[in-house]
Structure 1
Amino acid sequence: MKGLIIRDPWIGMILDGTKTWELRTQHTTLRGEIALIRKGSSQIVGVADLVDSLPRLDQHGLAESVQFHRVPPAEQASALANGWLFPWLIVNARPLSTPVPYLHPNGAVTWLNLDPNTSQSIARARQTSRGEPSQEAVKAPSQPAIIRSVQAFKTNGDVVRELDRDSGPGSKISPALEAELVATADRLGVKVKPLGSNTTKMRSFIVPSRAGDHVVLLNRMARSTSHFQVFLAPALDGRVANSIAGIPGVQRFVNASTHDHRMRHSAFRAFKEPQPVGEPFGHGWLLDQHRAGELFSKLVEIIRNK
């Protein structure tokens, strides 16, 4: 297990869920569970999931995404000057019930490898999982600032080319839209599965409910500019379809070739349901990207209550 060194006050914001972007000076390819180390304390104070490394921000993008990185306007000039412009998307933060001490190696300033004994101590100190989100937590902004920040990115060709390159070959969904959905999931207590690579076609969200955990797949290759696609397991879809269809801004996905609601894709084996002969399928929905957080929250709450 690796530990990430983060100074105050940023580490406190990550632990309480108010900060999901940790700004760094370069990208990272690391994904998965990490330990959170408070700088200068020689203590591990929590664990979290590093699920993505987003494209470099420009001045406008930095200013428009304060709700994610929490850097106040007065400190943004310093962040620009020092190159703290690469957001690492860190979610599912879990404070430890008791901080775990470790031996800090000389020269370690960002990452360090934790020995097995320390990793075992972290496992013993894990705090119980967070409870149900409050009603306040599900209120997402109707016009996410992060969507506007992507529009700010598009003011010059160089930045657009950088976004295309960093998003991975063939990836069509906006990195900022995806970040908004991941941050919304974190606020709702929904598990976000790290991507295998930047070219992964589907991102998995695990929604807990009274009937068990349910998988929601986000289509990262969606080509629509006004909507994004999510897919549910067929059995779940059958139980919640009427409720979801009643949400303004949500509509059924229709396959242009077959004129039904099926989309064939090998990623649907993630649903782990008995499948008919042939490639698995799943039922999909289109959600208005300009109300991304709000609509995704409503979809999650419907699933959670089933």
Structure 2
Amino acid sequence: MKLSRGLVIADPWIGYILDGSKTWEMRSSATSVRGPFALIRKGTGAVWGVADLVDVRSPLSPEELIATHARHRIPSEMIRSGEVAKWNTPWVLADVRPLQTPVPYRHPSGAVTWVTLEPEVCAAIACQLGEPLPERPVAQYEAPARTAAPAPRPAAAAAHVSSPAPASAPASAGTAGILVAQTQLTGGNIRNNHFHLRGHVHRFPDDLIGGSNRHERAPKEASIDWGGGVDTLTDIDGEKQFFRGRGWIRQFFEKTGAEPGDRVLVEETGPYRYKVSLKKA
């Protein structure tokens, strides 16, 4: 599917999408559209980036919206007030690509949700991204069944112990998995022993996604095979959008000789089991 349409999104929401901290665009109804689309910043008359629409979920209750704040970034007070009651349907985004220079477009008369882009606008976007937009299948990954993400736990739950991943045979070095995340490393990632899962968190089970501190761990933990001989267990920090346990990441970077510009690949090899590898730049 080639880029041919765009979606107008207001601030601050489009800013959160472009910086990778918002992976659900909340809308009032579902859509059958899938694939790449242009991110149009409301009031600017320009395209500021491109994202893939990979899934549309069922409408959420106010309680579910509050519990999944890390996905859509809507403050709980706005949800409780009823101000955003209409916008309860998550459009799941992935592979967000900001543009260095916004590309102007002409807004067609009568366009309501989707904006049809002129060919020269699409060409300018593709040129700036450095390569033609590829043909993309409707769905690259079929996510496991999910439940609503749990609400953050109070500090009193400090003694909570996450449930380990279901027992299963370890994945062999040659096990082929489903690619669920790919991220480019920066110097800051390597210095601070982490890599982000922004734009990819929706591909992990909801019960692996916890809050922003150790008192808000997810109900489940993933088993991570990073090539060190012994797998590690960790959940995902839903606010920062990276694996919470990071001791193994320093060893992984040292073992693989990771440098800025290299890419980290995360593959699902079984239920709650993942293999992490490095692709050199």
Q: TM-score range by the shorter chain?
A: 0.5 to 0.7
Match of 1:16 among 16, 19, 32: 19
The aligned runs of 1:53-202 (5 Å cut-off) are: 53-77=56-80, 82-126=85-129, 173-174=145-146, 176=148
* TM-score (structure 2 length as normaliser): 0.53
Amino acid at match of 1:287: Y
Larger helix percent: 1
Q: Structure 2: which 5+ runs fail to align?
A: 132-142, 150-176, 186-202, 206-218, 236-267
Q: Give the whole-Å Cα distance in 2 for the aligned partners of 1:54 and 1:228.
A: 24
Name the counterpart of 2:214.
none
- Report the count of equivalent residues: 179
**CA 1:17/1:207 → structure 2, altered by over 3 Å: closer, same or farther?**
closer
Q: Quick check: 2:27–2:87 contact (8 Å CA) kept in 1?
A: yes
**What does residue 247 of structure 1 align with?**
232
- In the alignment, is residue 205 of structure 1 matched against residue 177 of structure 2? no
Q: Structure 1's 61 and 98: CA in aligned 2 closer, same or farther, altered over 3 A?
A: same
Structure 1 pair 243/48, CA: closer, same or farther in 2 (3 Å)?
A: same
> SS of the counterpart of 1:173?
coil
Query: Unpaired runs of 5+ in structure 1?
Result: 129-170, 178-201, 211-217, 231-239, 251-282, 289-295
Could you tell me how far apart the structure 2 residues matched to 1:172 and 1:286 are? 9
Partner Cα separation in structure 1 for residue 45 and residue 27 of structure 2: 21
- 1:304 corresponds in structure 2 to 278
Counterpart for residue 33 of structure 1: 36
Contact in 1 for aligned 2:58/2:90 (Cα 8 Å): yes
Q: Is the 8 A contact 2:79 2:85 kept in 1?
A: no
Could you report, residue by residue, the CA deviation over 1:183-216 in whole angstroms, capped at 9, with x for unpaired residues? Answer: xxxxxxxxxxxxxxxxxxx965364799xxxxxx
TM-score by length of 1: 0.49
What's 2:272 paired with?
287
Q: What letter matches 1:52 in structure 2?
A: D
1:51/1:39 CA distance change after superposition, 3 Å: same
Q: CA deviation at 1:127?
A: 7.2
